[in-house]
Amino acid sequence: MSTFSDPNAPSPAVVKSDEQWKSELSPEEYQVLRQAGTERPFTGEYWDSTTEGVYACRACGAELFTSREKFGSHCGWPSFYAPLADGTVRYLHDSSLGMERVEVRCATCDSHLGHLFEGEGYDTPTDQRFCINSVSLSLRPTDA
């Protein structure tokens, strides 16, 4: 069952002009986070990371996912079976590229993170795969 955000949901807490985002993000970060781009598979920093910690939005620092929900989907991007908590991400219908998908965005700054896929048969508690671009995330490792 797909979850879509409430169209009456509050506006993002972090709002910046396009010029501000361009000055704060690298060209690759800007292209993915603000223009809904996608990094190439198997090239991102976290696609196969097993480091324990919290994954935050690279644009605003909001905590989004943890390593506890990360799993190896072998798709080339970091995969999570659930976000850190309800309300940390929001969902939008995405019919770009001739496909019907669910886009995942940061609820705090409305940055593009990736997409949500369901029913793929992964052995996870939710049977969901949050396929997230590494460039959209910053990992805050758990202190050993």
Domain at 18-141, CATH class: mainly beta
State the residue for tokens 């048969």. 121
- pLDDT at residue number 10: 61
Domain boundaries, the chain: 18-141
List phi, psi (to 5°) of 24.
-95, -20
Residue 1: pLDDT over 50: no
Residue 106 annotated to the active site? no
| Confidence label for 144 from pLDDT (cuts 50, 70 and 90) | low
The 10s digit of each residue's pLDDT in 92-139 is 887 776 777 899 999 999 999 999 999 999 999 999 999 999 999 999
What CA dihedral angle connects 55, 39, 92 and 25, to 10 degrees?
Answer: 70
| Confidence label for 5 from pLDDT (cuts 50, 70 and 90) | very low
Q: Are 131 and 76 in contact (CB under 8 A)?
A: no
Strand duo 137-141 + 53-57: pairing:
antiparallel
**Global pTM?**
0.87
Task: Give the Cα separation of 82 and 98 in Å (integer).
Answer: 26
